[in-house]
């Protein structure tokens, strides 16, 4: 078989399509799914066992553990699953994929979702091209990404060196079958590399069956290839995680760790395990014909390995989570994952504890919006195009996080309010709901400021030094208001609320002063009318942001006064 440079570029193009599909799918999930899909997935993965069962079910339905783990990485990337939940689903996917091995060994047939990719594209094009509703467009984009993902996977397999239909290329391996345990290790490595090339453990399982059926290798070495295939199949999720965030890369790494550790302990008990599988197929299933027995033995080995590995490692999910967090630490400037830190999936035993939990989450919400404003201040003076675009993208990401956090916290508070509460607790919840709304409005103002700076940055003109100085003074006053709000939220009993009102008065007065001065400056030709519009948009948005800060302060003040 010849494999040209052109074929290699087709392989790279297939990989590009796969990664692009992954990216589109993840972004569409973030736009559309919101709290709904997250709630469903959270309910399905409330503990380790249900997480494993979920992974098994999905993989058995779509007949591809690679596709399942890629989707899990996508869900983690979109903030729909936590790292711990994803580990359970990945464990289940490893068991679910053994069904594929049985189908191959018994029926020699594999259902492929790639066959439906083009019809799905046609289905997804309707909402993308014609729908006005953003949610419907997101559904179409998700279908597009899903189709591209499976098209990419299919093309990766078809454009890889066709080892499956040219097994004679591997006939030379029979020269390395009589080196004892070293042969086993060698065939584990070969299985890993083969699966990484072919991009499908099912295809390498077929290759393994051909080699065993032709008598090139024994069942034991075929089992070693199967172990290698379990490691090699993790490359798909790790490729998908390249475009993902830290949590997505950790989920893919957890998949790799899970399979590598499983292979290590199975190698320790390799001889008795393979002997037991051979005895089971010959004596219990009553199969002695080599052509029938070997596929059954390999499938039984594959199933036994994955089930035993899950039963062993399901107790160490937290340890795996800590390990991958240590291997892939968070970047200092990376806080882009949407996940609630203090509010868990279920309700706490008392309303007071639930309210305390929500209070901590609101404080974290406020910290994120304050950090968002700090990014905007950096954006105001950034001249480098690359750095400007990077900061602007992070502000966009934080705005999305802000919308999701508002919804999640508000839903949680509404759940708490349905319980039996004291009048004081009801008052606190009303105030907290108001705070959440106003903090989200602060995030919207930060995003509006960033968009104005982006419009100015895209043009040819720039602010004058005086404009920069006045914008800096206004943003400094706004930052003081935000800092004072943070102190009030964190320590309401020992914070003077009058300082917040005084800062707001300063902001209003300064806005009025700059508004009048702007008219004079434009008339005196100190800068153009368009730059005056951008300038006053920024000043006006800062004043609005100050109003939202005061609303948060007033919500806290009302609770304090009514308590007294």
pLDDT in tens, 304-330: 888 888 888 888 888 888 888 888 887
Confidence (pTM): 0.53
**Residue 359 shares a structural domain with residue 287:** no
**Residue 433 shares a structural domain with residue 317:** no
**Residue 249 shares a structural domain with residue 380:** no
Most confident of 53-62, 140-149, 164-173, 366-375: 366-375
- The range of the structural domain enclosing residue 404 comes to 351-563
**Residue 363 shares a structural domain with residue 239:** no
The two tokens of residue 171 are 């006939």
**Residue 317 shares a structural domain with residue 432:** no
Between 190-204, 280-294, 363-377, 416-430, the lowest mean confidence (pLDDT) is in: 280-294
Are residues 361 and 422 in contact, defined by beta-carbon separation less than 8 angstroms? Answer: no
Domain count, the chain: 2
Residue 177 placed within a domain = yes
The CATH number given to whatever domain includes residue 433 is 1.20.58.220
Count of C-beta atoms within a 10 Å radius of residue 387: 12
Measuring CA to CA, which residue among 176, 189, 181, 191 is closest to residue 226?
A: 191
Name the H helices within 216-332. 219-232, 234-240, 246-268, 270-279, 290-313, 317-327
Q: Which domain-ending residue is among 327, 342, 366?
A: 327
The two tokens of residue 509 are 């007065």
pLDDT in tens, 240-279: 677 666 777 888 888 888 888 988 988 888 888 888 888 8
**Residue 322 shares a structural domain with residue 375:** no
Residue 340 placed within a domain = no
DSSP 521-535: HHHTTSS-HHHHHHH
Count of C-beta atoms within a 10 Å radius of residue 359: 17
**What share of the chain in percent tops pLDDT 90?**
21
Count of C-beta atoms within a 10 Å radius of residue 383: 8
What pLDDT score does 546 carry? Answer: 94
Most confident of 330-344, 387-401, 548-562: 387-401
Are residues 163 and 170 in contact, defined by beta-carbon separation less than 8 angstroms? Answer: yes
Between 476 and 254, residue with greater pLDDT: 476
**Residue 290 shares a structural domain with residue 370:** no
pLDDT in tens, 489-535: 888 777 788 899 999 999 999 999 999 999 999 999 999 898 999 99
Question: What's the rounded Cα separation, in Å, for the pair 183 and 193?
Answer: 15
What pLDDT score does 347 carry? Answer: 42
**Residue 405 shares a structural domain with residue 523:** yes
**Residue 193 shares a structural domain with residue 65:** yes
What pLDDT score does 503 carry? Answer: 94
What confidence category does residue 94 fall into, taking pLDDT thresholds of 50, 70 and 90?
A: confident
What confidence category does residue 349 fall into, taking pLDDT thresholds of 50, 70 and 90?
A: very low
Question: What's the rounded Cα separation, in Å, for the pair 195 and 64?
Answer: 13
Residue 109 placed within a domain = yes
What confidence category does residue 109 fall into, taking pLDDT thresholds of 50, 70 and 90?
A: very low
Residue 332 placed within a domain = no
Between 79-88, 315-324, 405-414, the lowest mean confidence (pLDDT) is in: 79-88
**Residue 357 shares a structural domain with residue 254:** no
What pLDDT score does 481 carry? Answer: 94
What pLDDT score does 108 carry? Answer: 45
Between 308 and 8, residue with greater pLDDT: 308
Classify each residue of 15-44 as buried b or exposed e, where b means 16 or more C-beta atoms within 10 Å of its C-beta: bebbbbbbbbbbbbbbbbbbeeebeebbeb
Residue 133 placed within a domain = yes
Q: What share of the chain is helix, strand, coil (3-state, %, to 5)?
A: 85, 0, 15
Residue in this structure with the two tokens 């007071």, named with its chain if needed? 352
With a cut of 80, say whether residue 70 has pLDDT above it: no
Residue 335 placed within a domain = no
Work out the angle at residue 485's Cα, subtended by the Cα atoms of residues 391 and 389, and round it to the nearest 5 degrees. Answer: 5
- The chain-wide mean pLDDT, for the chain, equals 78
Residue 342 placed within a domain = no
Question: What's the rounded Cα separation, in Å, for the pair 54 and 469?
Answer: 57
Between 33-37, 187-191, 207-211, the lowest mean confidence (pLDDT) is in: 33-37
Question: What's the rounded Cα separation, in Å, for the pair 362 and 434?
Answer: 11
What pLDDT score does 230 carry? Answer: 82
What pLDDT score does 196 carry? Answer: 78
Give the pLDDT mean for 218-244.
79
Q: Which domain-ending residue is among 312, 327, 342?
A: 327
**Residue 188 shares a structural domain with residue 273:** yes
What pLDDT score does 520 carry? Answer: 93
Question: What's the rounded Cα separation, in Å, for the pair 555 and 105?
Answer: 66
On the 0-12 / 13-18 / 19+ scale of CB atoms within 10 A, 468 is middle
Residue 98 placed within a domain = yes
Q: How many helices (DSSP H) and strands (DSSP E) are in the chain? A: 21, 0
With a cut of 60, say whether residue 62 has pLDDT above it: no
Torsion of CA 274, 276, 277, 279, to 10 degrees: 120
What pLDDT score does 534 carry? Answer: 92
pLDDT in tens, 156-195: 656 655 544 555 555 555 566 566 677 788 888 888 887 7
**Residue 203 shares a structural domain with residue 320:** yes
What pLDDT score does 110 carry? Answer: 44
């Amino acid at each position: 078989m010849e494999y040209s440079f052109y074929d290699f570029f087709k392989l790279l193009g297939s990989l590009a399509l796969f990664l692009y599909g992954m990216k589109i799918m993840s972004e569409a999930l973030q736009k559309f799914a919101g709290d709904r899909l997250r709630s469903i997935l959270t309910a399905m993965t409330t503990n380790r066992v249900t997480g494993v069962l979920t992974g098994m079910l999905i993989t058995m339905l779509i007949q591809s553990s690679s596709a399942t783990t890629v989707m899990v990485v996508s869900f983690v990337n979109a903030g729909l699953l936590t790292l711990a939940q994803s580990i359970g689903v990945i464990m289940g996917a490893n068991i679910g994929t053994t069904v594929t091995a049985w189908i191959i060994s018994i029926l020699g047939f594999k259902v492929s979702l790639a066959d439906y990719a083009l019809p799905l594209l046609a289905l997804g094009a309707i909402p993308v091209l014609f729908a006005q509703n953003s949610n419907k467009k997101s559904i179409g984009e998700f279908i597009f990404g899903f189709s591209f993902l499976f098209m990419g996977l299919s093309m990766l397999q078809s454009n890889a060196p066709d080892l499956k239909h040219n097994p004679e290329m591997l006939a030379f391996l029979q020269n390395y079958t009589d080196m004892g345990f070293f042969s086993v290790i060698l065939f584990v490595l070969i299985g890993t590399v083969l699966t990484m090339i072919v991009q499908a453990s099912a295809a390498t399982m077929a290759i393994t069956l051909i080699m065993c059926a032709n008598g090139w290798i024994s069942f034991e070495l075929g089992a070693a290839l199967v172990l290698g295939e379990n490691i090699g199949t993790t490359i798909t999720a790790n490729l998908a995680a390249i475009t993902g965030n830290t949590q997505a890369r950790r989920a893919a790494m957890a998949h790799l760790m899970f399979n590598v550790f499983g292979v290590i302990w199975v190698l320790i008990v390799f001889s008795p395990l393979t002997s037991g599988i051979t005895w089971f197929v010959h004596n219990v299933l009553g199969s002695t014909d080599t052509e029938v027995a070997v596929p059954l033995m390999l499938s039984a080995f594959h199933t036994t390995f994955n089930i035993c590995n899950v039963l062993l490692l399901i107790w160490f999910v937290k340890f795996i989570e800590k390990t991958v967090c240590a291997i892939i630490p968070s970047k200092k400037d990376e806080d882009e994952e949407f996940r609630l830190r203090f509010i868990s999936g279920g309700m706490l035993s008392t309303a007071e504890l639930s309210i305390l939990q929500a209070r901590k989450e609101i404080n974290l919400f406020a910290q994120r919006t304050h950090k968002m404003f700090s990014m905007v201040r950096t954006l105001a003076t950034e001249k480098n195009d690359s750095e400007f675009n990077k900061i602007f993208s992070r502000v966009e990401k934080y705005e999305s996080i802000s919308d999701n956090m508002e919804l999640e916290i508000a839903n949680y508070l509404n759940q708490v309010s349905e319980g039996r509460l004291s009048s004081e607790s009801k008052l606190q919840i009303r105030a907290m709901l108001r705070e959440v709304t106003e903090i989200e409005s602060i995030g919207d103002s930060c995003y509006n400021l960033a968009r104005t700076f982006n419009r100015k940055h895209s043009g040819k003109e720039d602010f004058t030094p005086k404009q920069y100085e006045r914008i800096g003074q206004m943003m400094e006053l706004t930052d003081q208001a935000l800092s004072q709000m943070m102190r009030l939220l964190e320590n309401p009993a020992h914070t003077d609320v009058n300082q917040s009102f005084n800062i707001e008065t300063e902001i209003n007065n300064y806005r009025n002063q700059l508004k009048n001065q702007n008219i004079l400056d434009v008339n005196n030709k100190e800068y153009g009318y368009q730059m005056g519009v951008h300038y006053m948009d920024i000043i006006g948005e800062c004043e609005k942001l100050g109003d939202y800060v005061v609303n948060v302060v007033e919500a806290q003040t009302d609770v304090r006064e009514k308590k007294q």
